[in-house]
């Protein structure tokens, strides 16, 4: 009997599991050698997990041998167990009687197998306290009858912990379910990088049953390059134990041509002893996910491109710049080459150019961009230079795109650089304004439907901006024509003044279009060889400001012809400016001004203006200012200075009177009127600009620092710079090419009438003064060598002096002025203005002023501080105007 327990205890030797584990380490089909069968290895066999123990029972039914595994399983040491009744020790008291009968049957020579409830010792995991009874357990017992050396009946018992065994069975079943039922491809790869086991999901993808894949390698599933990469990764995982997560693998399924993508997780698998036994491969097909990711990435890229297009296209109202901005967005992010062609007729202002309907109208290449070549993209076998005007053949895809307003695909030429081209019409407000072409070279991905939609959207956005730029250019040109038509034509002329002027619209120097402004200047000739100089600026920009400027300028000229004082002109102009912003005119504006809470300031037209009247006889100039910058005066040999003219309130504000300042101007003095665009800039404050302007006028014959080319030429006499050159010098010195605002500059050099060109007499209030007036006029005209004017002048002087005697008051003053024309003035102290009337045939009088109107080039009357002045003007002999014969004029009155 002792030999049998010896065999049983031999299984509990620490090397008892060596044979099993060594066998597990063999690959399928390998035959174990003798050394392998009996080699020793660390614990970790199946018996360690299921906890198998053995003991023997002698003929007396008591334990006579007790193994070490029995001590560990049942918690009873050998010295205590030997000689112990196993039924009494381990079986519940309620079942001991049944146990005794079974023991008797066993000793009688019968085998028995069954599950017996036993008390097992507490383990460290149970957390039991010392002295507590053992835990309840189930033990599967296998009893084998045997005999002792004396021939007596005995038994050998093998005990297994059933609960541990059931747990192992449950774990194996769960492992099998997880492996077999996983929706992912699950493969166990052995150390030789061969498939040891594959689940059904993997087999369904690559064909066959799971057993058909045993022994295969990665080269059986993947292309060569990809298989080598994956194999190297498997070896690294097997050697280092480093797990790989989300490794992307690309290949093909059997019988399919579409490329598939998998996400693979790899980790090394170990035996119970910790020895690596292979690699677990868990893979999932991510082809659809990658396609969705590509779709999302493409959508994000397209959205980003549209966002960039919205930010970069249309920042300037220039056609060519807008077209270049489109190409800056698409090259090279969307295509490799691109061009923009716009209809030449639309660029030149023609709304309906010929050929627009059939796509054959002339187009001009306005933009080109390339990431691969400098050669502009043209039609088949043709290149078109930037700026060239051309047209597409009627049957070409480009002409078809223009004709149908739909994008067209243009295939690449054989052996050419371009692989594919999209011809996309540029449509704005249902009107095709041009064609954008996007091309990709060979080696790039061809255009798809998504690319076509993106190209249409980009072209549409650019088309709207280009159409806006075209409309703005057209309206801007019209506004400029309107604005320039309101300025004085040609070079203004004035009696006793040398005039030079400059007008620069905003951005004129930079070449960029801008809104028109409200700056203006004017030179208005007044009776008596006097001149009104006007410079004004309507606040704001655009057509609204230009129209307001035109209305104010017209009003100024009208008020000037009434010969009002400068302050009165500005007062009337202020009323008109307030009326411009009121629907009901000036009266509605006045009522609104009296009710400030009801006034709509957004409709108020504000303007600044300086109005000056220069008398060439007295060389005195009267200024009135409405919120404008002060005039600058340069006297001969003196530094320039700003005149102290009360600024007043801008026109349109109302409620404040305007003041006048009278200044005597010496011969040769220079007077400068200007707008704020000349001296104001973002780069420096207004005071600094004013000082620079004054400095530029102080010594105009010397160049300003930093402007060596700004030296103006001197006049023929060599004493004074030419006034035109002075204007250029000022503009260059002040660096007026910033183009931020309109610039108006009016300069006048004083050249008063010589004393010999003036005849001035005071006549008493008596009838003889009429004859004396004729004598003075005849003598003066003969002295001026103007004999052809003597008869007419005598007749008209006689009429005016007679009217002064009859209807006027006080002394009579006669003055003759000779300049570019002959002016005769008759002064008196009466306030009643003469009124021309039509006399009947039976009337003896009432025809004097009619005669004055017939014989003179112009006539009129004005108020003076001491009365009134009636005047007439005659052209000088030798001019374009012919004089009317006095006799014929007298006969025409009857």
Q: Which of 444, 460, 479 lies at the terminal end of a domain, its last residue?
A: 479
Residue among 110, 116, 117 nearest 144 (CA): 110
Q: Is residue 38 part of a domain?
A: no
Q: Which two tokens stand for residue 712?
A: 């103006």
* pLDDT score at 679: 86
Are residue 687 and residue 543 in the same domain, yes or no?
yes
Tell whether 469 is covered by a domain: yes
Q: What share of the chain is helix, strand, coil (3-state, %, to 5)?
A: 35, 25, 35
What pLDDT sits at residue 357? 57
Determine the Cα–Cα distance for residues 871 and 816; give it in Å rounded to an integer. 10
CA separation for the pair 407, 411 (Å, rounded): 13
> 715, 677, 719, 670: which is closest to 696 by C-alpha?
670
Is 408 in the same domain as 547?
no
pLDDT for the residue numbered 24? 46
pLDDT, position 741:
76
Contact 503, 742 (CB under 8 A): yes
Give which of 426, 263, 283, 289 is closest to 359, Cα–Cα.
426
Q: Contact, 814 vs 776, CB < 8 A?
A: yes
Q: Considering only CA atoms, which of 421, 411, 490, 486 is closest in space to residue 455?
A: 421
Going across the sheet that includes 337-343, the strands are 389-390, 363-370, 337-343, 431-441, 418-428, 408-411
| Tokens (6 digits) for 760 | 């001035």
**Greater model confidence, 798 or 832:** 798
The yes-or-no verdict on residue 194 having pLDDT over 90 is yes
Of the residues 453, 479, 505, which one is the last residue of a structural domain? 479
Q: Between residues 488 and 449, which one has the greater pLDDT? A: 449
pLDDT at 149: 85
Residue 621, pLDDT above cutoff 70: yes
> Is residue 176 in some structural domain?
no
Res 613: pLDDT? 94
The average pLDDT across 618-637 equals 92
Model pLDDT, residue 511: 44
Domain-located, residue 269: yes
Tokens representing 657 are 């009177």
CATH of the domain at 204: 3.30.450.20
Q: How confident is the model at residue 127 (pLDDT cuts 50, 70, 90)?
A: low
739 and 806 share one domain = no
State the pairing for strand pair 153-161/517-526: unpaired
Higher model confidence: residue 483 or residue 712? Answer: 483
Residue 797 lies in a domain: yes
Contact (Cβ atoms closer than 8 angstroms) between residue 442 and residue 432: no
pLDDT number for residue 507? 59
**439 within a domain of the structure (yes/no):** yes
Q: What are the pLDDT digits (tens) for 462-519?
A: 888 888 888 877 777 777 777 677 666 667 788 888 999 888 876 544 444 555 677 8
Give residue 25's pLDDT band: very low, low, confident or very high (50, 70, 90): very low
Tokens of 41: 């290895």
pLDDT beyond 80 at 15: no
- pLDDT of amino acid 124: 55
3-state secondary structure 240-265: HCCCEEEEEEEECCCCCCCCEEEEEE
**Burial class of residue 798, CB neighbours in 10 A (0-12, 13-18, 19+):** middle
Specify whether 191 is located in the same domain as 253.
yes
| pLDDT at residue 75, as a whole number | 81
Which residues lie across from 115 on neighbouring strands? 140
CATH number at residue 420: 3.30.450.40
Q: What is the pLDDT of residues 302-329, one digit of tens each?
A: 888 888 888 888 888 788 888 889 999 8
557 with 667, same domain: the answer is: yes
What pLDDT shows up at residue 600? 47
Q: How confident is the model at residue 247 (pLDDT cuts 50, 70, 90)?
A: very high
In a domain, 18, yes or no: no
pLDDT at 633: 93
pLDDT of residue 230: 92
Q: Among candidates 596, 748, 772, which has minimal Cα distance to 665?
A: 748
First-residue to last-residue Cα distance in the chain: 177
**Residues 715 and 696: beta-carbon distance below 8 Å:** no
Smallest CA-to-CA distance from 471 within 363, 349, 315, 389 is with 349
* This prediction's pTM: 0.55
* Residue at token pair 């993209």: 377
Residues 39-55 have a mean pLDDT of 67
356 pLDDT band, cuts 50/70/90, is: low
Q: What is the pLDDT of residue 11?
A: 36
Ordered DSSP codes for 579-622: HHTSTT-HHHHHHHHHSGGG--GGG---EEEEEEEEETTTTEEE
The CATH number for 636's domain is 3.60.40.10
Domain boundary among 479, 510, 532: 479
Are 467 and 337 part of one and the same domain?
Answer: yes
Same-domain check for residues 742 and 765: no
The number of helices, as runs of H, and strands, as runs of E, in the chain is: 25, 31
The larger pLDDT score, comparing residue 32 to residue 761, is at 761
pLDDT band, residue 254 (cuts 50/70/90): confident
Based on the fold, state whether residues 203 and 332 are members of the same structural domain.
Answer: no
In a domain, 865, yes or no: yes
Alpha carbon distance 533, 52 (integer Å): 125
Question: How many degrees, rounded to 5, is the angle at CA 557 between CA 555 and CA 558?
Answer: 65
- Those residues whose C-beta lies under 8 Å from the C-beta of residue 494, and which sit 6 or more positions away, are 523, 525, 531, 614, 616, 748
* Cβ(792)–Cβ(829) below 8 Å: no
User: With pLDDT > 90 as the criterion, what percentage of the chain qualifies?
Assistant: 20
Q: Give the integer Cα–Cα distance in Å for 543 and 514.
A: 11
Exposure class string for 810-831: b at 16+ Cβ within 10 A, else e: ebbbbbbbbbebbbbbbbbbee
**Structurally, how many domains does the chain consist of?**
5
**C-alpha R_g of the chain:** 58
Band (704; pLDDT cuts 50, 70, 90): very low
Residues 744 and 818 in one domain: no
How much is the average pLDDT of 675-681? Answer: 85
Structure confidence at residue 26 (pLDDT): 46
**Is residue 768 domain-shared with residue 668, that is, in the same domain?**
no
Burial readout 856-874 (b: 16 or more C-beta within 10 A, e: otherwise): beebbbbeeeebbbbbbbb
| Whether 436 and 540 share a structural domain | no
* Domain, as residue range, for 219: 183-291
Residue 624 and residue 688: Cα distance in Å, rounded? Answer: 24
Separation CA 683–CA 2 (nearest Å): 115
Residue 193 binned pLDDT confidence (cut-offs 50, 70, 90) = very high
The residue among 854, 850, 797, 795 whose CA lies nearest residue 826 is 797
Supply the pLDDT for residue 236. 93
Tens digit of each residue's pLDDT (9 = 90 or more) over 416-430:
788 889 999 998 888
Mean pLDDT across the chain: 79
Q: Do 137 and 273 sit in the same domain of this protein?
A: no
């Amino acid at each position: 009997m002792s030999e049998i327990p010896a065999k049983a205890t031999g299984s509990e030797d620490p090397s008892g599991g060596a044979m099993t584990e060594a066998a597990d380490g063999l690959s399928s089909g390998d035959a174990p050698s003798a050394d392998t069968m009996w080699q020793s290895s660390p614990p970790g066999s199946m018996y360690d997990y299921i906890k198998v123990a053995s003991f023997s029972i002698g003929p007396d039914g008591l334990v006579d041998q007790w193994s070490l595994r029995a001590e560990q399983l049942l918690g009873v040491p050998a010295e205590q167990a030997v000689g112990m009744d196993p039924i009494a020790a381990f079986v519940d008291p309620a079942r001991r009687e049944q146990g005794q009968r079974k023991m008797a049957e066993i000793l009688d020579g019968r085998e028995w197998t069954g599950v017996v409830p036993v008390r097992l010792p507490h383990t460290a995991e149970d957390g039991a306290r010392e002295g507590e009874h053992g835990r309840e357990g189930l033990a599967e017992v296998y009893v084998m009858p045997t005999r002792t050396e004396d021939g007596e009946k005995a038994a050998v018992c093998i005990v297994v912990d059933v609960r541990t065994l059931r747990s192992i069975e449950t774990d194996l079943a769960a492992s099998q379910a997880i492996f077999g039922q996983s929706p992912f491809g699950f493969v166990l790869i052995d150390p030789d990088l061969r498939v040891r086991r594959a689940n059904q999901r993997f087999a369904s993808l690559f064909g066959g049953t799971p057993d058909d894949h045993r022994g295969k390698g990665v080269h059986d599933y993947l292309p060569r390059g990809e298989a080598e990469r994956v194999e190297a990764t498997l070896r690294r995982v097997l050697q280092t134990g480093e797990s790989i997560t989300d490794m992307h693998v690309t290949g093909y399924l059997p019988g399919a041509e579409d490329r598939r993508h998998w996400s693979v997780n790899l980790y090394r698998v170990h035996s119970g002893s910790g020895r690596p036994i292979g690699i677990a491969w868990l893979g999932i097909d991510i082809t659809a996910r990658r396609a969705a990711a590509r779709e999302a990435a493409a959508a994000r890229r397209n959205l980003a491109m549209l966002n960039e297009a919205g930010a970069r296209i249309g920042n300037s109202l220039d056609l060519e710049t807008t077209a270049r901005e489109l190409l800056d967005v698409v090259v090279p992010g969307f295509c490799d080459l691109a061009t923009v062609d716009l209809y030449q007729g639309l660029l030149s202002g023609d709304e309906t150019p010929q050929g627009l309907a059939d796509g054959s109208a002339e187009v001009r290449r306005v933009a080109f961009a390339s990431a691969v070549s400098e050669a502009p993209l043209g039609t088949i076998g043709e290149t078109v230079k930037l700026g060239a005007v051309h047209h597409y053949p009627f049957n070409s895809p480009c002409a078809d795109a223009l004709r149908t307003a739909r994008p067209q695909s243009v295939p690449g030429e054989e052996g050419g650089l371009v692989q594919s081209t999209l011809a996309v019409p540029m449509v704005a407000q249902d009107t095709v304004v041009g064609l954008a072409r996007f091309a990709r070279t060979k080696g790039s991905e061809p255009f798809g439907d998504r690319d076509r939609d993106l190209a249409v959207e980009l072209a549409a956005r650019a088309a709207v901006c280009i159409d806006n730029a075209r409309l703005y250019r057209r309206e801007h040109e019209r506004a400029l024509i309107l604005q320039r038509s309101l300025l004085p034509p040609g070079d203004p002329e004035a009696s006793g003044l040398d005039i030079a002027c400059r007008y620069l619209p905003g951005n004129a120097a930079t070449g960029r279009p801008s809104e028109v402004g409200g700056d203006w200047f004017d030179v208005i000739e007044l009776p008596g060889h006097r001149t009104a100089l006007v410079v004004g600026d309507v606040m704001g920009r655009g057509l609204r400001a230009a129209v307001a400027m035109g209305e104010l300028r017209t009003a100024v000229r009208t008020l000037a012809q009434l010969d009002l004082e400068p302050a009165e002109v500005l007062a009337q102009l202020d009323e008109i400016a307030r009326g411009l912003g009121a629907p009901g005119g000036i009266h509605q504006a006045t009522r609104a001004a009296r009710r400030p809470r009801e006034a709509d300031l957004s409709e108020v037209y504000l303007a600044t203006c300086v109005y000056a009247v220069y008398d060439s006889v007295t060389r005195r100039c009267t200024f009135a200012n409405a919120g404008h910058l002060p005039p600058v005066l340069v006297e001969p040999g003196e530094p320039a200075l700003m005149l102290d003219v009360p600024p007043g309130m801008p026109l349109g504000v109302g409620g404040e009177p305007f003041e006048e300042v009278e200044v005597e101007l010496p011969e040769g003095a220079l007077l400068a009127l200007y707008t704020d665009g000349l001296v104001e800039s973002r780069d420096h404050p207004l005071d600094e600009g004013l000082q620079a302007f004054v400095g530029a006028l102080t010594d105009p014959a010397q160049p300003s620092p930093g402007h060596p080319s700004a030296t103006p030429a001197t006049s023929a006499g060599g004493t004074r710079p030419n006034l035109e050159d002075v204007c250029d010098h000022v503009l260059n010195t002040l660096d007026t090419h910033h183009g931020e605002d309109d610039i108006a500059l009016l300069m006048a050099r004083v050249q008063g009438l010589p004393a010999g060109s003036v005849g001035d007499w005071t006549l008493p209030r008596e009838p003889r003064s009429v004859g004396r007036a004729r004598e003075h006029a005849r003598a003066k005209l003969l002295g001026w060598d103007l004999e052809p004017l003597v008869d007419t002048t005598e007749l008209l002087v006689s009429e005016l002096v007679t009217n002064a005697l009859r209807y006027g008051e006080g002394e009579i003053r006669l003055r003759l002025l000779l300049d570019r024309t002959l002016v005769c003035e008759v002064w008196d102290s009466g306030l009643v203005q003469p009124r021309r009337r039509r006399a009947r045939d039976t009337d003896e009088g009432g025809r004097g002023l009619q005669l004055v109107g017939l014989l003179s080039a112009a006539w009129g009357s004005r108020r003076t501080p001491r009365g009134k002045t009636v005047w007439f003007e005659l052209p000088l002999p030798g001019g374009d105007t012919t004089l009317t014969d006095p006799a014929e004029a007298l006969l025409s009155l009857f």
